[in-house]
Amino acid sequence: MEIRKYFEKSELIPAIIQDAVTNEVLMLAYMNEQSLSKTIETGYTWFWSRSRSELWNKGATSGNMQKVKKIIADCDLDTLLIKVEQSGPACHTGKQSCFFNEIGE
Amino acid sequence: MEIRKYFEKSELIPAIIQDAVTNEVLMLAYMNEQSLSKTIETGYTWFWSRSRSELWNKGATSGNMQKVKKIIADCDLDTLLIKVEQSGPACHTGKQSCFFNEIGE
């Protein structure tokens, strides 16, 4: 499978993680070519941690893994939308989604 | 409203645009502090175009504008999820969502 085309503009691209069942947006993380390759190969999400500069298998420590149902690139091939079956909360805070700080409230 | 905190790590942050009615993820674009400020002030989405290096009022040309219903920052304040009422297709290709290139199909 040719995945290099997604990394032509940038080595790291954003991946939006959406719950395949509820359609809730759970988190956003970054992928390089190797993490996308491991995600496709294993069927679970792998990201590149910008702060730790390392590959990161989401949920490997917490057990809250993300089983991949669908990977969809956008019109200009520089962003991914990944639909997953989420085990447990997606956020390290214990919340289901990382998006909980409403602006203007 | 204090929005500077979202731009401490980076001048540009990704904003995920989600249809407030259907929960479909429509697109991802980038915001700087000025575009977020104009989005809050006008109630419609403004982005920073990385390719044209200019502020961009989504739909100003096509008429396919995005009325903002909710803006939610993530746990570490470096990504936004914006729920919108989308007029017409969100993608410049004429498709409803920019995410239509399924990988592995």
Cα B33 from chain centre: 13
Residues B45-80 pLDDT 10s: 999 999 999 999 999 999 999 999 999 999 999 999
**Residue B2: band (very low, low, confident or very high) from pLDDT cuts 50, 70, 90:** confident
Q: At residue A80, does pLDDT exceed 80?
A: yes
- Token pair recorded at residue A9: 């503009």
CB A104, CB B48: distance < 8 Å: no
Test mutation, A81, A83, A95, A97, chain B, max B CBs within 10 A = A81
Read off the pLDDT of residues A7-65 as tens digits, 9 standing for 90 and up. Answer: 999 999 999 999 999 999 999 999 999 999 999 999 999 999 999 999 999 999 999 99
DSSP assigned state of A41: H
Provide ipTM, 2 decimals.
0.96
pLDDT of residue B105: 63
Which residues 63-102 in chain B show a CB within 8 A of chain A?
70-77, 79-81, 91-93, 95, 98-102
pLDDT of residue B1: 64
Cβ pair A99, A91 in contact under 8 A: no
Closest-CA residue of A relative to B80 is A99
Q: Does the predicted TM-score (pTM) go above 0.90?
A: yes
> Over the range A21-57, which residues count as b (16 or more CB within 10 Å of their CB) and which as e?
eeebbbbbbbbbeebbebbeeeebbbbbeeeeeeebb
What would the mean pLDDT of A82-100 be, rounded to a whole number? Answer: 97
Q: Which chain B residue's Cα is nearest to A19?
A: B23
pLDDT of residue B104: 82
- The stretch A74-96 carries a mean pLDDT of 97
Query: Could you tell me where the DSSP H helices lie in A11-99?
Result: 33-42
Between A and B, how many residue pairs show a Cβ–Cβ distance under 8 A? 92
Report CA-CA distances (Å) from B47 to A2, A50, A52, B86, B88. 30, 23, 29, 15, 18
The share of chain B scoring above pLDDT 70, in percent, equals 98
| Mean predicted confidence (pLDDT) in B19-37 | 98
Task: Give the mean model confidence (pLDDT) for residues A68-96.
Answer: 97
